[in-house]
Amino acid sequence: MSGVEAGPWTRLDAEAVAAYAELTQDFNPIHLDPDFAAKTPLGRPIVHGTLTLSLVWPLVAPGAALELCFVKPVFVGEEVRARRIETGVEVENRAGETVLAATWGEA
């Protein structure tokens, strides 16, 4: 397992989200179109969940099993970081809110 307890704070801005959309071919307007997102219950664009999840992997041993829970949306422009906790890894925002919980599962 990695000796790192927490990853760096990472701003997931519109440029990062657009690059991830291009890489994954996921062009859902909830991620990319502020006008579209403004008409949804969330009110603004959100980061792809799997982009947020990608912050977890540097803190996880190869082959480890995780059970995932996407707790809250990450809005485009927010800063988040992954950190190891006793039960697994979580991603938190600058407000200290857990946005993704990844608990150790059975491999």
Q: In what order do the strands lie in the sheet with 98-104?
A: 10-11, 79-85, 88-93, 98-104, 66-70
User: CB-based contacts of 66: which residues, under 8 Å, 6+ apart?
Assistant: 56, 60, 88, 89, 102, 103, 104, 105
- The chain-wide mean pLDDT, for the chain, equals 94
Q: Is the pTM of this model over 0.75?
A: yes
pLDDT exceeds cutoff 50 at 1 = no
* Reported confidence tier of residue 107, pLDDT bands at 50, 70, 90: low
Average pLDDT over residues 45-59: 96
Average pLDDT over residues 13-35: 98
Q: Comparing 76 with 1, which gets the higher pLDDT? A: 76
Q: Which two tokens mark 65?
A: 């099993």
